[in-house]
Structure 1
Amino acid sequence: MYEPIRSKSVHSTMAGTSHDFPHRTREEELDIQLAGHLAALLAVTDELRAAAPTADLDAAAERLAEQVTRLRGGHAPARASVTTTGREPNAQALHRRAHTLAGRALVVAASRADTAAAILAAERMDAHTAALRPRELAPR
């Protein structure tokens, strides 16, 4: 009724038999995930720096770039050049997005027990919360 399988399965169910594809440890997967969240946070930080440059954002961008470089084994993150797109960026939306990304990075850093990245992510969450607070709490 059914034709028998003639080729070897690509999914090995027997432990220790398949060495055909790369395996990563949990720590390596968390490093990749944390580097991705921090790189995304760096991209949003660069957008905020282009819209309204401050010393705090400059310092944060440098610290984020250092952490991403460390997590990627010395490979520096890609940085967007500051260009004008013809429209005014929405700083509030960028701060909300940065806050969300910092929260994600904090969760992964805590899971990975990476104190430096966790502290940086928590500081960025606080900074973006403070940037959002005056406008969101103001009476309309």
Structure 2
Amino acid sequence: MYEPIRTKSVHSTMTGTPSDFPHRSREEELDIQLAGHLAALLAVTDELRATVPSAELDAAARRLADQVARLRGGSAPARLSATVPGSDPAALHQRAQALAGRALVVAASRADTAAAILSAERIDAHTAALRPHALAAR
């Protein structure tokens, strides 16, 4: 029914067999994933700041940048410097809310309290920002 595999696997499955590709621990993988989610959330937050400036978004962006730098070993994240024409604040808040949710899941599985608290706060903030849009749509 299936054709047998005729080549050796590129992944070594035998104990003690040296491997020629780098391995990362689960914690390192979660750090990378969490930093990615927080960096994406930072990008959306920067876009929101350019569209609808606020001191609360400025503070959130600073905290997000600090967390990304911490997870990346001190490397500062890239920041958005210009606004995207025609950005819809409601759509940006929805995207930020989803990204914060993903970050919260990874932070919880990594047991990173600081990132989990920040992610939960961002979910709450974006949910609150979406309420007026939801009432206007009715």
State TM-score, norm by structure 2: 0.90
1:28 equivalenced with 2:34 (yes/no): no
Match for residue 16 of structure 1?
Answer: 16
| Aligned partner letter, 2:60 | A
Instruction: Report the structure number with the largest CA radius of gyration.
Output: 1
* Structure 2 runs not aligned, ≥5 long: 1-5
Match for residue 48 of structure 1?
Answer: 48
State TM-score, norm by structure 1: 0.89
| Structural mapping, 1:64-83, within 5 Å | 64-83=64-83
Please list the CA deviations of residues 71-109 of structure 1 after superposition, one character each: whole Å capped at 9, or x if unmatched: 0001000112124x4x32100000000000000000000
| Aligned partner letter, 1:134 | P
Partners of 2:48 and 2:35 lie apart in 1 by: 20
| Aligned partner letter, 2:114 | A
| Aligned partner letter, 1:71 | L
Partners of 1:51 and 1:102 lie apart in 2 by: 19
2:131 alignment partner, one of 107, 112, 133: 133
4+ runs deviating over 2 angstroms:
8-11, 137-140
Match for residue 99 of structure 2?
Answer: 101
Secondary structure of residue in 2 paired with 1:138: helix
How far off is 1:134 after superposition? 1.4
Partners of 1:67 and 1:57 lie apart in 2 by: 15
Match for residue 3 of structure 2?
Answer: none
Partners of 1:138 and 1:91 lie apart in 2 by: 14
Between 73-82 and 28-37, report the one with greater CA deviation: 73-82
How far off is 1:11 after superposition? 2.3
- Report how many aligned residue pairs link the two structures: 134
| Structural mapping, 1:80-91, within 5 Å | 80-83=80-83, 85=84, 87-91=85-89
* Structure 1 runs not aligned, ≥5 long: none
Give percent identity, aligned residues only: 77
RMSD over aligned Cα atoms = 1.8
